[in-house]
């Protein structure tokens, strides 16, 4: 027989509150938690190990009951919101006739502008960020002025909201009078703005990946005759990019969503088409349709990011 002091009063009160919450929110699981807690109390002075086991079961079942109950309440609340006032909210946000009419033009705008802008910007952001990361991480005194410049660049564009950068570049470049640049299209002005913003963030991600590679690998590459540039290109960077691929995908998801900011410049992307649809159809459904387009583009990438992150963590733990 294993006799130990029973649980403290504070923990006992917490258990009672949890069981009460479970019984209130989802009685089937709440009852199971209450039964397990009762067994735990009966065994407290007889079999400590079994008492603790029953206490853990009571806690887990009570938490499950509270979670299920809370989820049911949220679902009921959403249903109530959409069905009140003769389904006024449902008709305002989910008019399927409006979706059927507005979705084709919004999809074309989404693919032509939002997706294209995200892909082109990403193709420029990656090499730009690699160059920034290498310059920032270099220890050579010869590149000290460049290192200071890229440090200031990172602080500047991480500190300014992306929307302000898009407005400054989108309105400023055409009015600058600079040859060639002043005549570029709004699309490429937005590419420049997004590259400047995301280069500041992604370069830090790549720099962290470079820092995670053991320095011994760089020294070994130099020992076999590779230059510092060759060692970085063929040894360090491939491993660093593989390490930070999940983070890069995460930033690409954010980039896709931030292409909606170009709507403030009047470009006919999916968001602006949706805003026009709100006026034409006197319904908020086009905005919901635009949100669905972004979800279709970003959710699979988010799940892929999670999968790659789990695989990377498993590989690192295996080492």
What is the reported pLDDT for 118?
95
Long-range contacts at 141-150 (CB < 8 A, ≥ 24 apart): 150/203
Q: 277 and 243 in one domain?
A: yes
Q: What is the CATH classification number for the domain harbouring 225?
A: 1.10.3720.10
Domain for residue 126, yes or no? yes
CB 61 within 8 A of CB 25: no
What is the reported pLDDT for 10?
60
Q: 237 and 137 in one domain?
A: yes
Domain for residue 226, yes or no? yes
Domain boundary among 85, 107, 141: 85
Q: 162 and 100 in one domain?
A: yes
Average pLDDT on 147-175 reads 90
Domain boundary among 41, 62, 85: 85
Domain for residue 1, yes or no? no
Q: 175 and 55 in one domain?
A: no
User: Is 252 buried (19+), middle (13-18) or exposed (0-12) by CB count in 10 A?
Assistant: buried
Q: 101 and 63 in one domain?
A: no
Domain for residue 208, yes or no? yes
Domain for residue 90, yes or no? no
Q: What is the pLDDT of residues 256-289, one digit of tens each?
A: 999 999 888 888 899 999 999 999 988 889 999 9
Q: In whole angstroms, give the CA distance from residue 269 to residue 232.
A: 39
Q: 66 and 169 in one domain?
A: no
Domain for residue 256, yes or no? yes
Q: 294 and 158 in one domain?
A: yes
Q: 256 and 116 in one domain?
A: yes
Q: In whole angstroms, give the CA distance from residue 293 to residue 24.
A: 39
Question: Confidence class of residue 319 from pLDDT cuts 50, 70 and 90?
Answer: low
Domain for residue 47, yes or no? yes
Q: 255 and 111 in one domain?
A: yes
Phi, psi angle pair for 2, to nearest 5°:
-110, 105
Average pLDDT on 46-68 reads 82
Question: Confidence class of residue 309 from pLDDT cuts 50, 70 and 90?
Answer: confident
Q: Which residues is 194 bridged to in the sheet?
A: none
What is the reported pLDDT for 11?
67
Question: Confidence class of residue 180 from pLDDT cuts 50, 70 and 90?
Answer: confident
**What average pLDDT does the structure give for the chain?**
84
Domain boundary among 85, 109, 128: 85
Q: 276 and 151 in one domain?
A: yes
Domain for residue 91, yes or no? no
Question: Confidence class of residue 3 from pLDDT cuts 50, 70 and 90?
Answer: very low
Range of weakest confidence among 12-21, 109-118, 147-156: 12-21
What is the reported pLDDT for 2?
45
157 vs 47, more confident:
157
> How many domains does the structure of the chain reveal?
2
What is the reported pLDDT for 202?
94
Q: 149 and 211 in one domain?
A: yes
pLDDT of 141 over the 90 cut: no
The domain of 51 spans 9-85
pTM for this entry: 0.76
CB 199 within 8 A of CB 132: yes
The secondary structure of the chain as a DSSP string is -B--PPPPHHHHHHHHHHHHHHHHH-HHHHHHHHHHHHHHHHTTTTBHHHHHHHHHHHHHHHHHHHHHHHHHHHHHHHHHHHHHHHHHHHHHH--HHHHHHHHHHHHHHIIIIIIHHHHHHHHHHHHHHHHHHHHHH---GGGHHHHHHHHHHHHHHHHS-HHHHHHHHHHHHHHS--TTGGG--HHHHHHHHHHHHHHHHHHHHHHHHHHHS-HHHHHHHHHTT--HHHHIIIIIHHHHHHHHHHHHHHHHHHHHHHGGGGGGGT---HHHHHHHHHHHHTSSHHHHHHHHHHHHHHHHHHHHHHHHHHHHHHHHHH-
Average pLDDT on 79-91 reads 75
Average pLDDT on 184-205 reads 92
Q: 112 and 46 in one domain?
A: no
Q: What is the pLDDT of residues 214-237, one digit of tens each?
A: 878 777 877 887 777 777 788 888
Q: What is the pLDDT of residues 6-43, one digit of tens each?
A: 444 566 777 777 778 877 777 887 788 788 878 777 77
């Amino acid at each position: 027989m294993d006799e130990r002091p029973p649980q403290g009063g504070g923990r006992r009160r917490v258990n009672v509150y949890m069981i009460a919450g479970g019984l209130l929110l989802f009685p089937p699981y709440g009852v199971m938690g209450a039964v397990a807690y009762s067994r735990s109390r009966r065994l407290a002075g007889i079999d400590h190990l079994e008492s603790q086991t029953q206490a853990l079961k009571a806690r887990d079942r009570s938490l499950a009951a509270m979670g299920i109950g809370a989820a049911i309440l949220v679902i009921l609340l959403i249903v109530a919101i959409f069905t009140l006032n003769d389904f006024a909210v449902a008709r305002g946000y989910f008019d399927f006739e409006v979706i059927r009419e507005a979705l084709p033009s919004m999809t074309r705008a989404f693919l032509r502008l939002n997706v294209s802008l995200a892909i082109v910007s990403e193709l420029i952001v990656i090499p730009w960020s690699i160059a920034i990361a290498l310059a920032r991480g270099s220890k050579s005194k010869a590149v000290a002025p460049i290192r200071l410049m890229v440090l200031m660049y990172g602080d500047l564009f991480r500190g300014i909201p992306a929307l302000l950068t898009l407005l400054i570049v989108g309105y400023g470049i055409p009015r600058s009078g600079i040859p060639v640049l002043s005549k570029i299209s709004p699309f490429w002005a937005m590419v420049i703005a997004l590259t400047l913003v995301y280069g500041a963030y992604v370069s830090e991600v790549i720099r962290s990946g470079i820092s995670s590679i053991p320095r011994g690998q760089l020294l070994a590459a130099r020992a076999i005759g590779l230059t510092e540039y060759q060692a970085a290109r063929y040894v360090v960077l491939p491993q660093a990019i593989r390490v930070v691929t999940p983070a890069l995908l995460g930033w690409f998801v954010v980039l896709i969503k931030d292409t909606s900011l170009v709507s403030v410049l009047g470009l006919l992307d999916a968001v602006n088409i949706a805003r026009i649809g709100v006026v034409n159809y006197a319904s908020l459904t086009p905005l919901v349709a635009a949100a669905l387009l972004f979800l279709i583009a970003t959710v699979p990438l988010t799940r892929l990011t999670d999968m790659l992150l789990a695989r990377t963590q498993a590989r690192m733990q295996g080492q």
